[in-house]
Structure 1
Amino acid sequence: MPRRIYTYAPDMGWTTVNQITSLGSFVFALGVLIFLIDVVWSYHRGPLAGKNPWDAPTLEWSVASPPPPYNFSTLPFVASRHPLWEDRLPEASKTRLRSVLDEGYILDHGREALGTTALDAEPDIILKMPEDSYAPFLLGLFSALVFAGMALHSWWLTGAAGIACAVVLIVWRWPERKLVQREPYPVHEEGGALG
């Protein structure tokens, strides 16, 4: 199909397809215009939406709107696919479900993550995450130099950059004493920590 032309010779067989495509572009433009009108109308006259206007079942809809800089002040326990709908389940189904947002684990000692058991995903330990590092950037830079050296058949550059990659990996992955694990302490419904 020829490009950058607005019409075709009649014997090419593109006229009908070109007209359908042109009509589709106008329909698409009309849809965009209706969307923009709806955005302006909703901004000026529409009601304010709550934190869960669609009655969604998942935890991201439990956060306030506009959202805070963090998702949750405590990590909630979740035992079903639809945690915000757990209140609607019959009592027989709730025996396995443990709560949604009223209790959980507080991660308030810097950068932490909750470690779970491999089989049941039960909370097991709180892992301390490392601080920011230039190691990934340096590893990417030296890796690029390894491949550049190989492409240029410069074996001394390839070897030096490979050794630099190894050093950066060792420094990056070297264990730090301050990255200690601690036992998780669940939060009582009243807000205090158990431990």
Structure 2
Amino acid sequence: MKKVEEKGPLNKLFNSIDNLLSDEKEQNLRSKLGKEIRKCIFTDDIVERLNENDFSGMVEEEGESIVLFSMIFPIFVEKNGVIFRLYKHKVEVDLSDEMSDRYIYIFSDGRLTSGLFQCFKLYDDEYMYGVKKIIDMIPSFKDTVKEALITLNNNEVFTKEKIGTFKEREVIAKDNFNELFESLNAFK
């Protein structure tokens, strides 16, 4: 005699809880993987080099050193026609000019999202393919970040005048933000 599985409310509840726990475990694994990939790219050596750049003579306020970091990132790396853009918190991958061939990998939660806004899970083939491509690029990312830091240290272009240009952009950005925010308030 075959056991008949009931689909009553209690079984549905248990299945739902099992699915939630399974999803949470998968998310935790992706997050752990993303953080490890970030650690492999931004090694202690690279983080030390990032931190040893003393920008205090160039800018008056500590918060504005972010402007200089934005001059380093994103880091562009190209291999076999695939373009990678490395930021401090993510990697963007362009396999081609098509939106469907673009991916964003967020280190903090290990999330891989396509240009068509499809999120992939650790058990998806697309996730494995995309993340393997990123892992294979770790040596190139590290080398390119080191080269960018050397260029930054050797480049005299980063003068107060150049930073002034960025300060002007910041003022314009704040003005634009205020104007857009005021427009948004009209709908509240």
> TM-score, normalised on structure 2?
0.28
Higher strand proportion, which one?
A: 2
Which structure carries more relative contact order (alpha carbon 8 Å, separation 6+)?
2
Higher helix proportion, which one?
A: 2
Structure label with greater radius of gyration:
1
